[in-house]
């Protein structure tokens, strides 16, 4: 028996429209010739040309990409070690540890950003690349651990012991047995870290060195003083790339028992 | 080929003593079964031999050499796990080659050994198969091949058959036994299944509560167990309690009197007797004790019966054709064989 709820469906459509309409409009306007986003619609790619013809946006994008990659890499390395450690200390202690770690997600980034800035100022680090790097790594670390730790627990018990009985040292066991088993989760965690860091305005706003603008900061700066549709073009590219990454992450298996390529 | 000696091994997890002062020897090429109920410490003992766990006290000797201080990978001990613990992301061939690669053997050598090992477990030509495409029985064979391909000094098997269907399990009992004899690798086999232990082992050690209660050849330990626990754990038993009558060299249980082989009891001491169901022979009236057949269950090849003797109900089993003429309610003769008696603590 299937009962129909027309209202539920209508509200759902409304909610989704509210979520996706602005994104749709941004993409639409990125192809509109009018610099003020007015109709009639006239197709053009000039905003994309403007975007790629150099300027601050391109530079900021490159900086953000490199920065996010470094942060994601660090988060994956630290996250892997953390998850391994959590498995060793047993489930109960690991649960406490996990909650502590997640506070980096639960505590508002606004608060965290200010707190870190105060701390860095006290220690003399101040606004710096290192400070920004540390702050963002802390914030994205829980995403890696949240994905990798359950994957580790799901691994076949004894496979690692079996490798040891076959003569493998603990390090070799990690590379040849443990890591291949959890690779989808590690990759998903890395992508999550990359995206969260790439989009993270708040932490970067507080911790970036003076004069240095990552992409979120550059966009904020541009929108504040004026608005050119090349930002629409950039936003459209970001939406497409983000959606692509999310699809990839879900293909890699968010806790699903599915391999990387098969 | 190596001799395994376990001397005074103890292990505790926190407050709980899991192994207490275990002594066990497996001669070179011998197949030893550790038999006991779950939680008796048999898997823990296996893990202290392999080095996955460190024992708190005692020594593990292989050919007189103490391996207790070595890490797992330096012990040259092969192990087959209950869940097989195969590497899912590798093919069958890669699983088998794993240990050989670590030993830096040549590609030719590895290919030859893998092919031979698969031949031995009767899975020739399956090198390229994925683990997930194998049946449980095939995975079992691959796990066994992966362990023996390195020619370990000692092979440990942790309940390797428990996850298999009954038919495949019986087939694998023969297979493992055959492979063990062919390779001559000293083997310790953990099981809670008495049938497996009896069928496969050269020697059985029965464990309970972290101790070895009794050890011996399968036939001896089955027919003439020395402990009450071993008697009750192996086979289906009739257990009768009574008192020892020193003058008559027998045990009295109400109206039933059983002659005993063992005589080291005090007069009037409380004793228990165990008689396996197949040693209760039901015959024509006039032979042995007199009883009444109360139940008869047809099982095909066998017939399971219950007979009432002097107020005691005894279980019996016989070949169907031998029991064909016995009818429920009739008076029958009952002869008892191999009565094992134990002091009641």
A164/B52 CB distance under 8 A: yes
A157/B83 CB distance under 8 A: yes
CA–CA–CA angle A65, A68, A72 (5° rounding): 135
Question: Which B-chain residues 277-336 have CB contacts (< 8 A) with chain A?
Answer: none
C-beta of residue B329 within 8 angstroms of C-beta of residue B290: no
Residue A181 near chain B (CB below 8 Å): yes
A156/B83 CB distance under 8 A: yes
Q: How much of chain A exceeds pLDDT 70, in percent?
A: 92
Distance CA B198, CA B7 (A): 25
CA–CA–CA angle B74, B76, B81 (5° rounding): 110
Distance CA B70, CA B53 (A): 11
CB pairs under 8 A between A and B: 68
To the nearest whole Å, the CA of A85 is away from the closest chain B CA by 18
* H or E element, residue B34: strand B31-35
Distance CA A183, CA B70 (A): 31
Nearest to B17 by CA among B208, B207, B209: B209
Who contacts B45 (Cβ-Cβ below 8 Å, separation ≥6)?
B6, B9, B19, B22, B24, B34, B190, B207
Q: Residue B156: its pLDDT value, please?
A: 94
First to last CA, chain B: 42
Per-residue pLDDT of chain B (345 residues; tens, 9 = 90+): 789 999 989 999 888 889 989 999 999 999 999 998 888 889 999 999 999 998 898 899 999 889 988 999 999 999 999 888 999 888 999 999 999 999 999 999 999 999 999 998 889 988 889 998 998 889 999 999 999 999 999 999 998 888 788 888 888 888 899 999 989 999 999 999 888 899 899 999 999 988 898 999 999 988 888 888 888 888 778 888 888 888 878 888 888 888 887 778 888 888 888 888 888 988 888 888 888 989 899 988 899 999 998 888 899 999 988 888 888 888 888 988 888 888 876
Phi/psi at B284 (5° precision)? -65, 150
Confidence check on the interface: ipTM exceeds 0.90, yes or no: no
Q: What is the DSSP string of A15-31?
A: HHHHHHHHHHHHHHHTT
pLDDT tens-digit map of A101-157: 888 888 888 898 899 999 998 888 888 888 889 999 999 999 999 989 988 988 887
To the nearest whole Å, the CA of A169 is away from the closest chain B CA by 6
B89/A181 CB distance under 8 A: yes
| Locus of tokens 């627990």 | A153
| Locus of tokens 């391909």 | B149
To the nearest whole Å, the CA of A189 is away from the closest chain B CA by 20
Residues of A in contact with B78 (CB under 8 A): 165-166
Strand ordering across the sheet containing B4-13: B16-26, B4-13, B57-62, B65-66
Count of all residues that appear for chain B in the document: 345
Q: Token pair for residue B55?
A: 């024992």
Distance CA B4, CA B29 (A): 10
Residue A226 near chain B (CB below 8 Å): no
Nearest to B316 by CA among B237, B220, B256, B261: B237
User: How is residue B111 annotated by DSSP?
Assistant: H
Who contacts B29 (Cβ-Cβ below 8 Å, separation ≥6)?
B1, B184, B185, B186
Distance CA A100, CA A93 (A): 11
């Amino acid at each position: 028996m299937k009962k129909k709820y027309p209202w539920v469906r209508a509200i759902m459509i409304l909610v989704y429209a509210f979520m996706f309409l602005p994104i749709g409009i941004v993409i639409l306007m990125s192809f509109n010739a009018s610099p003020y986003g007015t109709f009639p619609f006239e197709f053009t790619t000039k905003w994309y040309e403007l975007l790629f013809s150099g300027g601050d946006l391109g530079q900021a994008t490159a900086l953000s990409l490199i920065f996010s990659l470094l942060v994601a890499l660090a988060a994956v390395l630290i996250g892997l070690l953390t998850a391994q450690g959590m498995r060793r200390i047993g489930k109960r202690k690991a649960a406490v540890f996990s909650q502590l770690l997640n506070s980096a997600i639960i505590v508002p980034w606004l608060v965290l950003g200010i707190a870190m800035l105060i701390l860095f100022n006290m220690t003399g680090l101040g606004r710096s690349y290192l400070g920004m790097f540390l702050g963002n790594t802390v914030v994205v670390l829980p995403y890696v651990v949240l994905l990798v730790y359950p994957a580790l627990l799901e691994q076949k018990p004894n496979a690692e012991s079996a490798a040891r009985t076959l003569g493998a040292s603990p390090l070799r066991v990690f590379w040849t047995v443990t890591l291949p088993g959890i690779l989808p989760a590690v990759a998903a965690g890395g992508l999550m870290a990359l995206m969260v860091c790439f989009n993270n305005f708040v932490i970067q706003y507080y911790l970036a060195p003076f004069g240095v603008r990552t992409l979120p900061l550059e966009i904020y700066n541009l929108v504040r003083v004026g608005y050119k549709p090349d930002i629409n073009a950039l936003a459209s590219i970001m939406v497409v790339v983000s959606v692509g990454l999310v699809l990839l992450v879900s293909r890699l298996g968010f806790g699903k028992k599915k391999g990387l390529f098969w | 080929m190596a001799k395994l000696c376990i001397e005074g091994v103890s292990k505790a997890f926190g407050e709980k003593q899991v192994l207490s002062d275990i002594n066990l020897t497996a001669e070179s090429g011998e197949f030893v079964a550790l038999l006991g109920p779950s939680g008796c410490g048999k898997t823990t003992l296996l893990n202290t031999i392999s080095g996955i766990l460190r024992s708190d006290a005692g020594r593990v000797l292989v050919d007189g050499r103490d391996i207790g201080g070595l890490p797992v990978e330096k012990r040259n001990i092969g192990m087959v796990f209950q869940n097989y613990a195969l590497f899912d992301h590798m093919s069958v061939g890669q699983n088998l080659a794993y240990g050989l690669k670590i030993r830096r053997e040549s590609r030719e050598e590895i290919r030859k050994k893998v092919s031979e090992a698969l031949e031995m477990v009767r899975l020739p030509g399956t090198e390229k198969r994925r683990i997930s495409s194998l049946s449980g029985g095939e995975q079992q064979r691959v796990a066994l091949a992966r362990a023996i391909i390195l020619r370990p000094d000692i092979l440990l098997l942790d309940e390797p058959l428990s996850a298999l269907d009954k038919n495949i399990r019986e087939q694998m009992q023969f297979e493992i036994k055959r492979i063990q004899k062919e390779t001559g690798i000293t083997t310790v086999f953990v099981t809670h299944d008495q049938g497996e232990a009896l069928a496969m082992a050269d020697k059985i050690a029965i464990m309970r509560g972290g101790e070895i209660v009794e050890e011996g050849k399968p036939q001896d330990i089955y027919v003439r167990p020395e402990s009450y626990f071993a008697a009750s754990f192996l086979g289906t038993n009739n257990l009768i309690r009574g008192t020892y009558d020193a003058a008559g060299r027998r045990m009295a249980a109400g109206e039933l009197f059983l002659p005993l082989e063992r005589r080291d009891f005090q007069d009037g001491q409380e004793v228990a007797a165990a008689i396996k169901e197949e040693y209760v022979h039901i015959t024509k009236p006039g032979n042995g004790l007199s009883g009444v057949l109360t139940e008869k269950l047809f099982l095909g090849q066998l017939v399971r019966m219950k007979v009432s003797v002097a107020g005691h109900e005894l279980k019996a089993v016989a070949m169907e054709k031998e029991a064909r003429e016995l009818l429920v309610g009739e008076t029958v003769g009952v002869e008892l064989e191999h009565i094992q008696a134990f002091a009641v603590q």
